[in-house]
Amino acid sequence: MTTALVWLRRDLRLLDQPALHAAAERHQRVLPVYIHAPEEEAPWAPGAASRWWLHHALAALGEALARLGSPLVIRRGPSLETLRALVLETGASAIYWTRVYEPAAIARDQAVKEALRADGLSAESFNAALLFEPWQLKTGAGEPYRVFTPFWRNAAAQLDGLPPPLPAPVRLTGPEPALKSLPLAALDLLPKIAWDAGFHARWTPGEAGALARLRAFVAEPIRRYRDQRDLPAQPVTSALSPHLHFGELSPRTALAAARDAGREAGPGWLASAEHFVRELGWREFSHHLLFHYPHTAEQPMYAKFAPFPWREPADYAGDLSAWQHGRTGIPIVDAGMRQLWTTGWMHNRVRMIVASLLSKNLLIPWQEGARWFWDALVDASLPQNTLGWQWSAGCGADAAPYFRIFNPVLQGEKFDGDGAYTRRWVPEIAKLPEQYLHRPWEAPSEIRRAASLGPDSIYAKPIVDLGASRDRALAAYARIKRA
């Protein structure tokens, strides 16, 4: 009887899992293994929110695999050494895994594959995280894309040719005798202090939670996605990003569900569903960019932005802390940062608003924001985090033009006009009338008193003058442009 190892990383599911599918189809015994080696992902080892999610995702997957007959084995240590040890313990002749695309993981996986093959083993990797491999789509000149629209035009034309999602295995047989496994608690992924109550209230990590959220989204909210996805108070976004990042849901499964729902419901729904599919395209684009331009996780896409005149850390430390903790005195920004702190997630429109304020109005390096998001987001994806921050800072591929500086007051009034989102996350200004909610410093003193806003409130004056800071940012970008 032949045995295969399935090395799990960010593919924590049974449905449409090509490495698991291949192992179950080709071998009599299958051993699913998770190897905890965060140091191999440096300098982008998972942050605190991601570790919380990973713990619960592994617990859910472990239960699902145990029901199929081959429990998950958890080990810790260097991946190659651990895989070799498992080969000796099981007599496995093959190791299968699905690809991850961050620079450190690519280098590690290539070295592991070469070493295992040199040992005489079969070592094979599969695409499970993307609709298209990052190297598949090229410009007419054979170059990587740097602009989303032509990238997505090429990708969208090929969507109908994608294979359908693979079925989940119905039964697995593990090695005998059963192997020793570390208890999940030994990985020390959960917080030492209980800051995660809001996470538990908001999320259900694991494949079952992912599929339930997908079903709920395509049942009705997707109909309103096109028209209301920019409104943070409206529950119409899919919130599938952490499930996609940890591989509890494949993009092919999400694509199929969205398009099936659209076709069944009619033209209006289908058009809205295609807007959601386009957002899957942005996820693809972010992976495409980081694969071809790995330096962008730390540096701007274009070298001309490297000398941008950011403020010095000693000068901006207080402003950075105020931004991180939702105490800027700008309601929509503070609402977003508090939502992030409480739930590990933030609405996409608000992500753009808070990023613009940090990088442009405050002139704080975008890397500071990227690092904070990396630690605080449950959906912290290096490709998407990098693309989003470089877009906001105006220094990356398909970036927002440097002269586009969001005015957070106008953004709040446009996308949270009645204040439902802001009042929820910034309750100390909930009593303000709508006309002053996004500019509380303009409210007359009697209205501020009625709303219990004293003179010492952070909403007496924002930490930055939005007009003057906009002019300062435009001048800095203009100098870079001239250079």
Name the residues annotated as catalytic: 279, 282, 310, 348, 366, 389
**Taking Cα atoms as reference points, which of 421, 397, 396 lies closest to residue 411?**
421
**Taking Cα atoms as reference points, which of 348, 295, 284, 358 lies closest to residue 323?**
358
Strand order in the sheet with 29-36: 73-76, 29-36, 3-8, 94-98, 122-126
Paired residues of 97 in beta bridges: 7, 125
DSSP string of 236-263, one letter each residue: TS---HHHHHTTSS-HHHHHHHHHHHHH
Q: Which residue has the tokens 């996605």?
A: 225
Chain-centroid distance, C-alpha 469: 29
How far apart (Å, rounded) are the C-alpha atoms in residues 372 and 349? 18
Rounded alpha-carbon distances, angstroms, from residue 95 to 83, 92, 100, 180, 340: 8, 8, 16, 18, 38
Length in residues, the chain? 483
**Taking Cα atoms as reference points, which of 231, 235, 222, 216 lies closest to residue 269?**
222
Paired residues of 3 in beta bridges: 29
